[in-house]
Amino acid sequence: MGKRARTSLDTAVVDVWKREVGELSTRNFAHRLGASEDLVLRLDLFRKLENHRGCVNTVSFNADGDILVSGSDVRRVLFWDWEAGQVKLSFHSGHNHNVLHAKIMPYTEDRSIVTCAADGQVRHAEVLENGQVETKLLAKHQGRAIKLAIEPGSSHIFYTCGEDGLVQHVSLPC
């Protein structure tokens, strides 16, 4: 009895295992997985999340992967139960222009969100026990504030970058 030929799907499964045990680098894994025609052909749309009015500029998962946060041109931030396709929370960001990036801070029980926007502002939103949301201005860039990066392992330190050519270090009160 002969061996059956390995398909690219078989190879992809082996690559996932190798990545998990550290035998395949992230870069090589991404390249090999993206090159798997079988796998790409099997991809399908899981669900459309429709509730924003206007352009959605940012999406980001919380640390557990069960909540997706999104931000839009109409300055709203939404928390999604992405599996159910339902909005869990919607609030005005406090920004005066398009929300360009939003992230849920880790280790905060998903109650601390940081945002940056085309108005140059960097803001913090806190979800209170009663479900209300308070927002506060933390920093400002000259021109648009483009991106946020959370310091690994931190619940209160993150960095922002903007059109002004600056990277700002921001620390939330503990």
Is this structure's pTM higher than 0.85?
no
> Mind listing the pLDDT tens digit of every residue in the chain (174 residues)?
555 444 555 666 777 777 778 787 878 777 776 666 766 677 766 666 676 778 888 999 999 889 989 998 888 899 988 888 889 999 999 999 999 999 999 999 999 999 999 999 999 999 999 989 999 999 999 999 999 999 999 999 999 999 999 999 999 987
What one-character DSSP code corresponds to residue 78?
E
What one-character DSSP code corresponds to residue 14?
H
- Distance in angstroms (rounded) separating the CA atoms of residues 38 and 5: 14
- In degrees, rounded to 5, the angle at the alpha carbon of residue 67 between the alpha carbons of residues 136 and 167 is 45
- Distance in angstroms (rounded) separating the CA atoms of residues 169 and 174: 15
Please name each of the domains of the chain with its CATH number: 8-42 (no CATH), 56-171 (2.130.10.10)
Would strands 68-72 and 56-61 be described as parallel, antiparallel, or unpaired? antiparallel
